[in-house]
């Protein structure tokens, strides 16, 4: 027997992201309006503004779906909603592929279920993947924000752009450091002992145990500035240019 869902979320060629309600339900309409869906007067579909940012649309659809499921209704969601729009690129620049969004929280949860070092390495590899890895997306976002600041064509904008370019360089360098660890994990035969406590029950060591030389910098970061109370930016330190990437590993 085929059962139709009470509500379906998906893309529409004219209205953008829409919700189709199979059975009239005042609670459903109330939830959709809470998440900024509006009803189209002709089709009866509930839709979000076409110019709404992707992350806002995704939060609205998933938030409404979760509330409706908790109320006992069946919800269907088109997987195409998980694919973000492509980032505009300059002519001649290869476009970054639009692929389903990656959740760092989901990767962390996945880590709690693996026992082998090589499996932990694969999780780091997902983080570093050149097509959908979060590290590359973070570097791209910071670099784009730097360029945005420079387009203000002011001294403050250019100064902020310079700082952001330095941060993007730090992110790129961090990616190469993580890749080094991932490569070492991938060749380790070690397995977590059967009597080891769960990862969630293992207390994490404080960062001070690993980075004592950065203690003064951390204090300076939270100290008040005489020019900007409550904010004291750390002067950007020179970062060596990262080594050229080696051949990418695939899972």
Tens of pLDDT, residues 116-148: 999 999 999 999 988 778 898 899 899 999 999
Question: Does residue 110 sit in the same domain as residue 215?
Answer: yes
179 occurs within a structural domain: yes
Question: Does residue 160 sit in the same domain as residue 206?
Answer: yes
244 occurs within a structural domain: no
Question: Does residue 62 sit in the same domain as residue 120?
Answer: no
d(CA 226, CA 242): 35
**pLDDT tier at 5, thresholds 50, 70, 90:** confident
Dihedral sign (CA 191, 193, 194, 200): negative
- Give the pLDDT confidence score for residue 168 in this predicted structure: 95
Domain residue limits at 110:
104-222
All residues at 6 or more sequence positions from 22 whose CB lies less than 8 Å from its CB, including other chains: 4, 5, 6, 7, 8
**pLDDT tier at 16, thresholds 50, 70, 90:** confident
227 or 214: which carries more pLDDT confidence? 214
Total structural domains in the chain?
A: 2
Does an H or E element contain 10, and which?
Answer: strand 7-12
Mean per-residue pLDDT, 5-24: 85
Task: Give the three-state DSSP class for 47.
Answer: strand
- Give the pLDDT confidence score for residue 241 in this predicted structure: 47
- Residue 66 is given by DSSP the state H
Question: Does residue 70 sit in the same domain as residue 108?
Answer: no
90 occurs within a structural domain: no
Question: Does residue 121 sit in the same domain as residue 78?
Answer: no
Mean of the per-residue pLDDT values of the chain: 80
- Residue 218 is given by DSSP the state H
- Min mean pLDDT across 56-60, 91-95, 163-167, 168-172 is at 91-95
d(CA 45, CA 38): 8
State pLDDT tens for residues 219-250.
554 444 444 443 434 444 444 444 444 444 44
Question: Does residue 209 sit in the same domain as residue 154?
Answer: yes
249 occurs within a structural domain: no
133 occurs within a structural domain: yes
Question: Does residue 61 sit in the same domain as residue 125?
Answer: no
Question: Does residue 72 sit in the same domain as residue 14?
Answer: yes
State pLDDT tens for residues 104-119.
888 898 999 999 999 9
Question: Does residue 115 sit in the same domain as residue 36?
Answer: no
Q: Are 18 and 36 in contact (CB under 8 A)?
A: no
d(CA 8, CA 40): 15
168 occurs within a structural domain: yes
46 occurs within a structural domain: yes
d(CA 71, CA 66): 9
36 occurs within a structural domain: yes
Phi, psi at residue 18, to the nearest 5°?
-130, 160
Task: Give the three-state DSSP class for 116.
Answer: strand
- Give the pLDDT confidence score for residue 97 in this predicted structure: 61
């Amino acid at each position: 027997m085929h059962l139709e869902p009470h509500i379906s979320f998906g893309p529409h060629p004219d209205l953008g992201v829409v919700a189709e309600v199979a059975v009239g339900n005042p609670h459903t309409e109330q939830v959709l309006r809470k998440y900024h869906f509006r009803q189209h007067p002709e089709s009866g579909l509930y839709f979000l503004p076409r110019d709404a940012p992707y992350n806002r649309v995704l939060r609205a659809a998933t938030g409404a779906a979760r509330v409706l499921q908790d109320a006992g209704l069946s919800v269907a969601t088109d997987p195409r909603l998980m694919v973000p729009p492509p980032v505009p690129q300059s002519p001649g620049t290869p476009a970054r592929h639009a692929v389903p969004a990656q959740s760092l929280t989901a990767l962390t949860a996945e880590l709690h279920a693996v026992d082998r070092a090589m499996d932990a390495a694969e999780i780091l590899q997902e983080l570093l993947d050149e097509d959908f890895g979060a590290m590359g997306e973070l570097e791209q976002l910071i670099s784009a924000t730097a360029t945005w600041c420079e387009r203000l064509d002011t001294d403050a904008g250019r100064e902020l752009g310079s700082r952001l370019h330095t941060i993007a360089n730090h992110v790129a360098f961090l990616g190469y450091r993580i890749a080094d660890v991932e490569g070492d994990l991938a060749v380790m035969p070690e397995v977590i002992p059967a009597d080891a406590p769960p990862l969630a029950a293992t207390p994490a060591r404080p960062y001070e145990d690993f980075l004592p030389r950065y203690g003064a910098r951390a204090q300076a970061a939270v100290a008040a500035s005489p020019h900007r109370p409550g904010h004291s930016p750390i002067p950007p330190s020179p970062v060596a240019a990262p080594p050229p990437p080696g051949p990418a590993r695939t899972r």
